[in-house]
Amino acid sequence: MSRLELKFDPNTIEHLGVKMYSTLPPALAELISNAYDADASEVVVEFLEQNGTPKAITVYDDGIGMTAKDIQEKFLVIGRNRRKHEGDEPSPRFGRLPTGKKGLGKLALFGLAKQIVVDTKKDGLRNRFTLNWNDLLASSDTYNPEMDLTDSETKNKAGTVIQLSELKRKSPFDLEAIADTISRIFIVDSEFTIVLKGPNDKTIKIADDRRYKKIETQFSWSEKDLIDPESEYHGKVQLSLITSVTPIPPSSGLRGIALFSRGKLVNMPEYFSDSTSSHFYQYLTGWIKADFIDLLDEDVISTNRQSLNWDHPEMTKFRAYLSDLVAQVGQYWRRKRENKKDKELEQATGIDKEQWFGSLPGDIKQSVEMIVRKLGGSEEVSETNGTYLSLNV
């Protein structure tokens, strides 16, 4: 044998694309990201069912589109780093920095469907080609997608339509649930609209306030409240932390703080701490935008964007900072809740707790004060029970 050769089996795509995106929303999120990166003002995802069975998903965007050259050199190359080839520059129309980096997002298509038709227009030229999963698997080391329109002239404006059929999903689409999940994957600029359509003519525009709509906010904090001007993260991080009046249901997927970079989720909600027992955690939700994560020398964002590589020294440091920040918010929360309960107690009974302590005889004062503080400040006692118990002391 004269020289060695490293070969790729088409099955690699199955592991990278299909297995990575086992559920609908993260796979759709890759297509939505591509529309965002293409400088679109809107992306519409249309779901088609026939007799309650999913038939097709079509994604429309009004972004820059692709020429035949773009398709060959950008879209059809697996693992191309666009930031290296095209620079990491703001987009011409909306000034967006690219979210795409790995050149793998398009593989999410195969997580959803076996047949994919891409129809795209750019600079008055239209291109249309088909990707077929079975043909791809049957190919040896090169796959030639069927192209039925090549740089054919068009008067229509730029944009891309991706139609997915022969879908893997067999159960009906739940548009509201999809919208909820998508709303937690993106915090993008207001010039980008995500719309979900049908079946039954249902349309959902995913608004920014959808994410925490089901949370009844009790207290909230922004970066101004929590990040010290002296801290190295000052000016680098924006955040919105919220505590709910009642415990957040675990099934909502909202417990904990989600991390975003360039408007896209990079780490699922969590507490950045090894101990997860605090009662406070049941009440805490929110987001942190840390765009510097995209600029680290090493890529720390996992391909499916669910978690970060916390072993990177910058990230280990950031995690320790976030862990302290969450602990600090926990303390603020306890204090605020205690103050609120005291106020409510005073309103209900006319008793000012501190004054009342002062009026008690010395020998019982200390024990009464201890009991009341324990009950009033106890995390385990719910709002109503806390008041009830305090009143009965």
Ligand X SMILES: Nc1ncnc2c1ncn2[C@@H]1O[C@H](COP(=O)(O)OP(=O)(O)OP(=O)(O)O)[C@@H](O)[C@H]1O
Cα of first residue to Cα of last residue in the chain, in angstroms, is: 89
State which of residues 16, 104, 182, 259 lies at the interface with ligand X (CB under 6 A).
104
State which of residues 54, 100, 286, 386 lies at the interface with ligand X (CB under 6 A).
100
State which of residues 21, 75, 281, 333 lies at the interface with ligand X (CB under 6 A).
75
Preceding omega of 90 cis (within 30 degrees of 0): no
In the complex with Mg ion, the residue whose CB is nearer, 37 or 342, is 37
In the complex with ligand X, the residue whose CB is nearer, 70 or 369, is 70
CA 258 to chain centre: 7
Using CB under 6 A as the binding rule, the residues of this chain from 146 to 165 that contact ligand X are: 160
How far is it between the farthest Cα atoms of the chain?
Answer: 98
Segment interacting with Mg ion (CB under 5 A) among 27-35, 133-141, 144-152, 322-330: 27-35
In the complex with ligand X, the residue whose CB is nearer, 30 or 180, is 30
For residue 104, the partner it binds in ligand X, Mg ion, none, with Cβ less than 5 to 8 A by kind, is ligand X
Using CB under 5 A as the binding rule, the residues of this chain from 90 to 119 that contact Mg ion are: 100, 105
In the complex with Mg ion, the residue whose CB is nearer, 54 or 100, is 100
Contact status: 103 vs ligand X (CB under 6 A): yes
Q: What distance in Å separates the CA atoms of residue 291 and residue 263, rounded to the nearest whole number? A: 8
Contact status: 65 vs Mg ion (CB under 5 A): no
Q: Please say whether the beta carbons of 217 and 334 come within 8 A.
A: no
Q: What distance in Å separates the CA atoms of residue 131 and residue 251, rounded to the nearest whole number? A: 37
Say how many residues touch ligand X, by CB under 6 A: 22
State which of residues 34, 58, 267, 285 lies at the interface with Mg ion (CB under 5 A).
34
Beta-strand ranges (E) seen in the chain are 42-50, 53-61, 113-122, 125-132, 146-153, 159-167, 193-197, 203-205, 217-222, 238-244, 256-261, 264-270, 284-289
Contact status: 101 vs ligand X (CB under 6 A): yes
Q: What distance in Å separates the CA atoms of residue 260 and residue 250, rounded to the nearest whole number? A: 21
For residue 82, the partner it binds in ligand X, Mg ion, none, with Cβ less than 5 to 8 A by kind, is ligand X
Residue type, 318: F
Q: Please say whether the beta carbons of 192 and 94 come within 8 A.
A: yes
State the Cα torsion 64-67-73-75 to the nearest 10°: 60
CB of 237: closest distance to Mg ion in angstroms? 25
In the complex with Mg ion, the residue whose CB is nearer, 33 or 261, is 33
Using CB under 6 A as the binding rule, the residues of this chain from 18 to 47 that contact ligand X are: 30, 33-35, 37-38
CB of 22: closest distance to ligand X in angstroms? 17
For residue 330, the partner it binds in Mg ion, ligand X, none, with Cβ less than 5 to 8 A by kind, is none
Per-residue exposure over 8-42, b if at least 16 CB sit within 10 Å of its own CB, e if not = eebeebbebbbebbeebbbbbbbbbbbbbbbbbeb
Tokens of 257: 């703080």
**Closest Cα to residue 326, out of 233, 256, 248, 255?**
256
**Coil, strand or helix: which one is 289?**
strand
Segment interacting with ligand X (CB under 6 A) among 14-22, 63-71, 89-97, 210-218: 63-71
CB of 83: closest distance to Mg ion in angstroms? 11
State which of residues 14, 46, 49, 82 lies at the interface with ligand X (CB under 6 A).
82
- The residues, any chain, with a CB within 8 Å of residue 287's CB and separated by 6 or more, are 187, 211, 239, 240, 257, 258, 259, 260
CB of 179: closest distance to ligand X in angstroms? 20
Residues that bind ligand X (CB under 6 A): 30, 33-35, 37-38, 61, 63-66, 74-75, 82, 100-106, 160
Which residue ranges make up the site for Mg ion (CB under 5 A)? 33-34, 100, 105
